[in-house]
């Protein structure tokens, strides 16, 4: 089982356990998820071209797990609160990932494979960590921590 399949399975299981499932078919689809409160979790998986995934979580102990296969995909994750985690896996070319975390004990991890990918991580607070892995040519990574 590949890591993308593993993440998709975990994301689907996570969504079903939360009682929320959002399906995205290939070709120009967009998914936006907002969560307010504490202890929330979200998982998203997209396969195809030109898709967008946006997640905003406001609260404590939130988790976001996302995977995208294909071209021209974009993932944006915003988390406000404590103990939040964002994990994004992108395969293909021209993908962009952005993570903004405000609060303490946050963690972001982004894995990109392909060419012309870009990642930006902004973390403000204390105890934050970021890990980025890029494979291919022309990738850009920016990490800002305060």
Question: Considering only CA atoms, which of 38, 47, 42, 37 is closest in space to residue 68?
Answer: 47
Question: Considering only CA atoms, which of 122, 88, 89, 120 is closest in space to residue 106?
Answer: 122
CA 103 – CA 83 distance, rounded (Å)? 8
Question: Considering only CA atoms, which of 87, 92, 104 is closest in space to residue 47?
Answer: 92
Write the pLDDT tens digit of every residue in 3-61: 544 444 444 444 434 434 344 444 567 889 999 998 889 998 898 888 899 999 998 89
Spacing of C-alpha 8 from chain mean position: 12
Domain boundaries along the sequence of the chain: 3-145
> What number of other Cβ atoms are within 10 A of residue 112's Cβ?
27
| Burial degree of 13 (CB within 10 A; 0-12, 13-18, 19+) | exposed
Write the pLDDT tens digit of every residue in 62-110: 999 999 998 888 999 999 998 899 999 999 878 899 999 999 799 999 9
């Amino acid at each position: 089982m590949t890591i993308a399949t593993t993440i998709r399975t975990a994301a689907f299981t996570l969504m079903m356990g939360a009682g929320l499932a959002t399906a995205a078919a290939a070709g120009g689809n967009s998914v936006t998820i907002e969560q307010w409160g504490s202890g929330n979790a979200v998982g998203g998986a997209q396969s195809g071209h030109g898709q967008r995934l946006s997640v905003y979580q406001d609260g404590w102990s939130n988790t976001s797990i996302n995977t995208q296969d294909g071209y021209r995909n974009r993932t944006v994750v915003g988390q406000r609160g404590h103990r939040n985690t964002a994990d994004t896996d992108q395969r293909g070319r021209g993908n962009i990932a952005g993570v903004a975390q405000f609060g303490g004990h946050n963690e972001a991890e982004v894995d990109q494979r392909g060419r012309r990918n870009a990642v930006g991580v902004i973390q403000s607070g204390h105890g934050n960590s970021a890990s980025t892995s890029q494979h291919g040519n022309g990738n850009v990574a920016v990490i800002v921590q305060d």
